[in-house]
Chains A and B, each alone.
Chain A
Amino acid sequence: QQPVQSPQAVILREGEDAVINCSSSKALYSVHWYRQKHGEAPVFLMILLKGGEQKGHEKISASFNEKKQQSSLYLTASQLSYSGTYFCGTSRGQGYNDMRFGAGTRLTVKP
């Protein structure tokens, strides 16, 4: 089952903050975050693992609430380069690589 992302779209001014949420009806082992710019392939941002381990982008932070089966991506002091569509992805569990992605959150940063 695909995770659910919110909001669907957000428009910011440079320097503003944004939070993108990702929730699942099933227990999560890991949550992946990717950003896709128009006409380009998705690019890895971060992985959050059950137990608290994180791997990824230094300037972007995220949280993973295992009990609530939710993850949030925090974009602070947004830059024009942050514009794109953000996807969260989840897999069945450890050892599985059947990534299901949410519908995406379109982020637009304006000057």
Chain B
Amino acid sequence: GQSLEQPSEVTAVEGAIVQINCTYQTSGFYGLSWYQQHDGGAPTFLSYNALDGLEETGRFSSFLSRSDSYGYLLLQELQMKDSASYFCAVRDIYNFNKFYFGSGTKLNVKP
């Protein structure tokens, strides 16, 4: 099975840098993805790490270490609009069409 753990809530100030961690226990997966969801909205895809290391997309970066069963999403130059929930997710290696999501981290950005 798959299990992904995230902190439930993180608070940071505008302009700061924040890291959202995701630790996992899986029987095998293709890679680690991150999604953003604003209150009442649909999750939207942010990034994907197929291999270990850092992937950068603008202000957002994502990191994966398979040996440590750990990944994180790094948000830089925080803006008020970044206040949302962030979910890590994996795609099952034994069933390509099955995804597992973490419980999500609510990010509160304060002025």
| A and B together in one complex | no
Task: Show the binding face of A for B, using Cβ within 8 Å.
Answer: none
